[in-house]
Amino acid sequence: YAWTQPLTEIFNEPYAGSIPGVFNGPLSGSQINEQLTDTIPVLVKGDLLANFESDPKYEFIIDAQIENSLIDWVPLTPMYMYHGDKDSTVPYQNSESVYRKLLSNGASADDLHFINLPGATHSSGIIPYVEDVFQHLMDLIPDL
């Protein structure tokens, strides 16, 4: 995006200083994760979290979100969305908002399913998600 804002305006230390060396190419996703935190308020500046939707100095973030939006479409086949309500990595509200947006775009409530995983975090939700997806796939294959 050719952003010119210093990382110290977006991220808290020690992350602002270490991010350029973490995303330099040779590290795997898990190695990057080990050097960061999955607690957003620890990673991201409090002012940005509190004001990014209303403070003009954060417009560049809103613009990037709009450019990268994946919600201006309508699913035409059954779609299952899963989210743990204790996920601190990806806010639960994100999935709720996407679900509502896809419905308002014209998705059928019969085909679009939002499944809450009560008490599940970003990690602990994996098993119940896989089990449920597997069951839906098995339902598609009647003779197994």
**Mean pLDDT score, 56-71:** 90
Residues whose CB falls within 8 Å of the CB of residue 111, separated by 6 or more in sequence, listed in order: 75, 76, 77, 78, 79
pLDDT, one tens digit per residue, over 41-63 is 999 999 999 998 899 999 999 99
Instruction: Answer yes or no: is pLDDT of 38 > 90.
Output: no
| Predicted pLDDT at 144 | 62
| CA proximity to 42, closest of 85, 106, 88 | 88
pLDDT, one tens digit per residue, over 85-131 is 999 889 999 999 999 999 999 999 999 999 999 999 999 999 999 99
> What is d(CA 53, CA 61) in angstroms, rounded to the nearest whole number?
9
- What average pLDDT is seen over the chain? 93
